[in-house]
Chain A
Amino acid sequence: MIISIASGKGGTGKTTIAVNLALTLAETESVCVMDCDVEEPNVHLFLKPRFEGSSKVTIPIPIVDEEKCNGCGKCGEVCAFNAILPLGSHHVLTFPELCHGCGGCTLLCPTGAIQEEPLEIGMIEWGHAGSISHIHGKLNIGSPLAPPVVNAVKNHTKGSSPNVISIIDAPPGTSCPVVASVSGTDFCVLVTEPTPFGLHDLSLAVDMVGELGIEFGVVINRAGLGNGGLFDYCKAENIPILAEIPFDRKYAKCYARGGRFIEEFPEIKKIFQDLWHAICVRAK
């Protein structure tokens, strides 16, 4: 089973939920945590895994052999991303940072003047924290293209035993890196907080998981801060509230230093056990 943790709004507690749910389950189950927030991966700060391997994530970018180029301009015409610019006869500029690696220019060049070579845009690393297996992606700083790194994280664990419970920590927002993280998962936990920002961004995230056709429920973090608008929304939309985690400065302090809630606060462990039960009841 694959569970994704997403949010719309950033900083609502996705990583906290992913890590503590994993720690709770690891006592009896095989658990894998995949950090798909490849722009700002944080799970490793809390799980403190020992990394055992890594691999580069690349996309294929065009290399032009100008001797073979006849200056026809087809490559520039084909490229939807403005990543290749033919400048008259035999001279072609490429902009690797704009390239999506679609292969169009290479495939359609009539003289076979374009070859591809890999451009590194990030990496994935894998290892273990106790019995929990962990994998995360890291987008290179300055590289704009997160989805291929997200996909590399997800592909790495393809074919693993169906008995493993995989927990995906998704990035904030609702656009392509989030869609890449959440799509294909069996259930999505949307983490939010009871503030107007939390409510607004939750509604965007609800639209997104609806578009993807994924079952979902809500975890309310920092309950007690803010107001009741979020609860009214969930009730009106018939959205299940899977768990509530109360706001307390001692939890904030524990998080600040990379601590693990369920180990420091027994009352929290019960919340995560109940959360898992609530997920199992609803997941396909």
Chain B
Amino acid sequence: MKELLIISGKGGTGKTTIVGAFARLAKDSFPDEVIVLADCDVDAADLHLILNPKIKTTNEFFGLKKAVIDENKCDNCGECIKVCRFNAINVHEEQTKIDPISCEGCTVCFHICPKQAISMEDVIAGHWFVSDTAYGPLVHARLGVAEENSGLLVTEVRREARQIAETLDSRLIINDGPPGIGCPVISSISGVDLALIVTEPTIAGIHDMERLYALAKGFDVKTVVCINKYDLDDKTSDNIEGFCKANNIDVVGKIPFDKKVVESLVKGGLMIPPGCADHDAEGPAANAVRQLWTKTLNHLL
């Protein structure tokens, strides 16, 4: 079983659109097998918007416990305020209060309180779902508003996706990754078999790709690159190809800008509609994604 991660560094380069198309193309490539899909962008998950999932199970995600003050026991001695390094404890109207948004759940105040007025309580920090889609099971999640521990939730999503894949003897998991290079990205990238970086021909696209590539290298993850909307600026596209060549990274796809991609998205669907036999009618971007899929598979299987 192999895990493919679609990732970008910079947001909005087209990760989710490509994952949606890959889900559809995987069904064509492996008609008798189950391919598992996982949305690791738990912070702003979008894959479900184009895969029309039917939710089978909804599961609570508990992040770290958070500190809660029993105001009847608290004598406002201020010891907790002194030890909290996250500025989560303040006095409001002569009562010591803990701000649940700032609390990181470190438990130091709980241990230090001389009156045992602080307890650590479970907080539902989000939900994760197992759903059915026309292209295979989808594991996705929704982190609670202004919550922390997105990395832990990503780990949970990947664990569940792997378990489903093992149970169904599936050969491939396709993961939609989050933007950035921090905690949820690290949880998404560690241990995958291939990372496909989707970039765009802008100076921000290159800059962010370089940082992400360095991260992937640090985790010893094999990386390939795809340039989305490559014809928006040919010169910058050339620079991306130059960087890839210098670092021995295979550029597995160049997708042209094509308004049809947005049009199909607006219709709530995939950029490659199901059952379409006429490849020319699909438009240039869809054709490029078909080639991208084939080349990506060659690297993976």
Bind each other: yes
Query: Which residues of A pack against B, CB within 8 Å?
Result: 7-12, 15, 37, 39-40, 42, 45, 78, 80-81, 100-104, 107-108, 139, 141-146, 171-177, 179, 183, 195-197, 200-201, 204, 207-208, 210-212, 225-227, 249, 252-253, 255-258
Nearest Cβ in chain A — how far from B139, in angstroms? Answer: 18
The smallest C-beta distance from A62 to any residue of chain B, in angstroms, reads 13
- Distance (whole angstroms) from the CB of A19 to the closest CB of chain B: 11
Assess the A173–B262 pair: CB atoms within 8 A.
no
List 18 other contacts, CB 8 Å, given A11-B13, A226-B266.
A39-B179, A42-B203, A78-B107, A80-B104, A100-B106, A177-B182, A196-B265, A196-B266, A196-B268, A201-B46, A208-B145, A208-B146, A227-B266, A249-B232, A253-B232, A255-B202, A257-B233, A257-B235
Q: Which of B101-120 contact A (CB under 8 A)?
A: 101, 104-108, 111-112
Question: In the bound complex, do residue B207 and residue A45 qualify as a contact, i.e. CB atoms below 8 Å apart?
Answer: yes
Residue from the list B65, B101, B232 in contact with A252, Cβ < 8 A: B232
A175 adjacent to B143 (CB under 8 Å): yes
Task: Considering the complex, give the chain A residue whose CB is closest to the CB of B47.
Answer: A197
- 20 inter-chain pairs at a CB distance below 8 angstroms, sorted by A residue, are A8-B44, A9-B12, A10-B8, A10-B12, A11-B10, A12-B12, A39-B182, A40-B180, A103-B85, A146-B182, A179-B146, A195-B265, A196-B49, A197-B16, A200-B46, A204-B44, A227-B266, A249-B232, A256-B202, A256-B233
**Residue B150 lies at the interface, judged by CB distance under 8 Å to chain A:** yes
Contact B104 A102 (CB under 8 A): yes
- Residues of chain B in range 65-98 having any CB-CB distance to chain A below 8 Å: 65, 83, 85-86
For B181, what are the chain A residues with a Cβ–Cβ distance below 8 Å? 39-40, 139, 141
Identity of the chain A residue whose Cβ is nearest the Cβ of B151 in the assembled complex: A144
Q: Is B236 at the interface (CB under 8 A from chain A)?
A: yes
> Quick one: given A12-B12, A172-B180, are A204 and B145 in contact (CB under 8 Å)?
yes
**Interface status of B64 (Cβ within 8 A of chain A):** yes
Q: Are B180 and A175 in contact (CB under 8 A)?
A: no
**Are B265 and A174 within 8 A (Cβ)?**
no
Within 8 A of A (CB), among B227-271: 229, 232-233, 235-236, 257, 259, 262, 265-266, 268
Residues of B within 8 A of A (CB): 8-13, 16, 43-44, 46, 49-50, 64-65, 83, 85-86, 101, 104-108, 111-112, 143, 145-148, 150-151, 178-186, 200-204, 207-208, 211, 214-215, 218, 229, 232-233, 235-236, 257, 259, 262, 265-266, 268
Distance of A10 Cα from B45 Cα, bound (Å): 11
B10 A9 Cβ-Cβ under 8 A: no
Contact A42 B207 (CB under 8 A): yes
Closest to B107 in A: A80
